[in-house]
Structure 1
Amino acid sequence: MIFAPPPLREGGTAGRLGYYDRGRTPYFASRLEPRLSYCLCVPRDYDEQGSEALDLVVLVHGTARWAETYRNGFADFAERERVIILAPLFPAGMSTPGELSSYKLIRHGGIAYDLVLLDMVAEVAERYRLRSQRFLLHGFSGGGHFAHRFLFIHPERLLGVSIGAPGIVTLLDPDHDFWVGVRNFETVFGKRLDIDAMRHVPVHMVIGGEDKETWEIRLTPQDSWWMAGAEGLAEANRLERLAALRQNLESHGIGVRQDIVPGVGHDGRAMVAAVQDWFATVLANARKG
């Protein structure tokens, strides 16, 4: 797919930054799919005429769409670690009125959310100097859905991925179709599943130690998410489902670090410190090379 150059924006032009292009930016519409948008956090002293290249961190919101909250929670991290934060906003109701979950499946309702995100990344790369085409990705809850499935599809673009408490997980299971497994992966996503590339991506999992409620994620044959093979995790809570995903990845030679935050339920804000600590470690290791 060939993408057009980003449009000129008030207060700045392509190659020249304006007042709203540093710090905590407004939301910008995606040039590829204007119904989706993103905001950034850019170190305030970033010099467009300088030589410093920054790393990119992508934060994917959960079902409540707190994109700006997550972005703001990483503002100090952006300054300290010299990164740009990109927080996409994938609105509810994109495929049908009132629906909440289309982005979690990556491809749904005629929208390729992964490709839109990659074009958002391309827009950022055209406006700022990035150190690498690879970026760090974190998502919690609904964002955790997105993050681990994005790992399956685009491991070559990831510097590392942090998967936070997804409600429903896809396993590297060749005997079931997507979303349960990956039997029809190439048909759905138009590319081959590359498990060897996944082995080269640092993986982090994070969840609260009391994240045991199942009211939102319980699966029955009457649910829209139900499909053959879902029975195995139908009654499991998020802790059990994340454990199943970890075991599945590790059985394929994919290393995982897991943090369980004690005394915390399903609250992405309580995961931020653990995610930032892990991100800092990955960045330090990557920058040594």
Structure 2
Amino acid sequence: MSAPAAPRAAFRAQSAGFRLHERACRSGLSCWLALPDRPRPGARPLIAVHGIGRAARLKAETFAARAAAQGRAVIAPLYDEAFWNGYQRAVAPRRADLALLELLKDLRAEGVVDAAGFDLFGYSGGAQFAHRFALLYPHLVGRLSLGAAGWWTFPDAAPYPYGLGGDGWGARMAAGLPRFLGLDIVVTIGAQDCEPDDATRRGEAIDAQQGVDRLTRARAWVAALREAAAARALAPPRIRLAVLPDAGHDFADCAAAGDGLLVTLTLGDAS
């Protein structure tokens, strides 16, 4: 991890109901914070994880107003490209999961948040990180919202990161799968995100397992979770797939689609 930095907060913007800050913490992982003017004690913050474009500020801004109306903070960590290349896998090549936990520890120590758990959102590469993090730490996550992941870790015996097979990280995530299947999970994907592009991982094996484009892969993963729950005689998972009209892979388009459906599904009502 990059060298720890002393806590700092740079005031950047203010809007009705919230304040937007950029902050670096002792953990060394910086973030954008959208803090409500009227925080609700014990309210779960939303952690919003960017894709490979590293647009952390945009993630914080997108959810800020609705979260502020609920008295909730938005935390958008920034996994800089120089150090955190590959953060999408959560545990390799560096422990992006531990960096996030340290960031939250710092923010709690500073009184920024006071809840033990959080809701977790990720978009594109951030959705890859988020669902793998939640498989490792399902006890920490309330609602899990996943937007337009390029590819997924499936609940099958394929070697990690394609599945939960093997004796390493796949086995550790498999141990958390029953609790993971009990989470409130939302998957969003643009209706036009149905063509592979240069950022789409391709190959004979992954295409056969998941499909060739993000829309097909999202549908396949949701179906696989439902099948995994049924195979374990678990209650049907609380998982919803929402296809966003007139949107492709651009985050801003997806956030605006359907009168802000992505934001509504991610934050829900006050919680």
Q: TM-score range by the shorter chain?
A: 0.7 to 0.9
Q: Once the 2 structures are TM-superposed, how far is the Cα of residue 27 of structure 1 from its aligned partner?
A: 2.9
How many Å separate the matches in 2 of 1:245 and 1:169? 7
Does residue 28 of the first structure (1) align with residue 24 of the second (2)? Answer: yes
In structure 2, the residue matched to 1:278 is 265
CA offsets, 1:243-278, max 9 Å, x none?
111011111223311111111111222333223212
**Alignment CA distance shift 1:19-1:207 (3 Å):** closer
The one of 242, 248, 251 aligned to 1:268: 251
SS in 1 for 2:155: coil
Q: Once the 2 structures are TM-superposed, how far is the Cα of residue 158 of structure 1 from its aligned partner?
A: 0.4
CA offsets, 1:45-73, max 9 Å, x none?
45xxxx83332100000111100011111
In structure 2, the residue matched to 1:143 is 126
In structure 2, the residue matched to 1:37 is 30
Of 155-164 and 119-128, more deviation after overlay is shown by 119-128
How many Å separate the matches in 1 of 2:190 and 2:8? 42
Does residue 75 of the first structure (1) align with residue 59 of the second (2)? Answer: no
> Identity across aligned pairs (percent)?
23
SS in 2 for 1:156: helix
Aligned length: 252
In structure 2, the residue matched to 1:85 is 74
Does residue 133 of the first structure (1) align with residue 111 of the second (2)? Answer: no
- Work out whether residues 55 and 82 of structure 1, in 8 Å CA contact, stay in contact via their aligned partners in 2: no
Q: Once the 2 structures are TM-superposed, how far is the Cα of residue 152 of structure 1 from its aligned partner?
A: 1.3
The one of 164, 171, 176 aligned to 1:194: 176
- Work out whether residues 94 and 102 of structure 1, in 8 Å CA contact, stay in contact via their aligned partners in 2: no
**Alignment CA distance shift 1:219-1:10 (3 Å):** closer
Give the TM-score of the pair, scaled to structure 1. Answer: 0.77
SS in 1 for 2:22: coil
Mapping for residues 241-260 of structure 1, pairs under 5 Å: 241-253=217-229, 254-260=237-243
**Alignment CA distance shift 1:185-1:162 (3 Å):** farther
Write the letter of the residue equivalent to 1:76.
Answer: A
Mapping for residues 1-289 of structure 1, pairs under 5 Å: 9=7, 23-29=19-25, 31-32=26-27, 34=28, 36-46=29-39, 52-94=41-83, 101-109=85-93, 111-128=94-111, 130=113, 132-174=115-157, 176-184=158-166, 186-187=168-169, 193-216=175-198, 217-220=200-203, 229-233=205-209, 236-253=212-229, 254-272=237-255, 273-281=260-268, 284=270, 287=271
How many Å separate the matches in 2 of 1:118 and 1:150? 10
List alignment gaps of at least 5 residues for structure 1: 1-5, 12-17, 96-100, 222-228
Structure number with the higher helix fraction is 2
Structure with the greater alpha carbon radius of gyration: 1
SS in 1 for 2:144: strand
- Work out whether residues 219 and 235 of structure 1, in 8 Å CA contact, stay in contact via their aligned partners in 2: no
How many Å separate the matches in 2 of 1:106 and 1:10? 26
- Work out whether residues 59 and 87 of structure 1, in 8 Å CA contact, stay in contact via their aligned partners in 2: yes
How many Å separate the matches in 2 of 1:197 and 1:79? 29
RMSD: 2.8
How many Å separate the matches in 2 of 1:57 and 1:10? 21
CA offsets, 1:56-106, max 9 Å, x none?
1000001111000111112212321111100011111326xxxxx501111
How many Å separate the matches in 2 of 1:45 and 1:187? 40
- Work out whether residues 58 and 137 of structure 1, in 8 Å CA contact, stay in contact via their aligned partners in 2: yes
SS in 2 for 1:193: helix
Give the TM-score of the pair, scaled to structure 2. Answer: 0.82
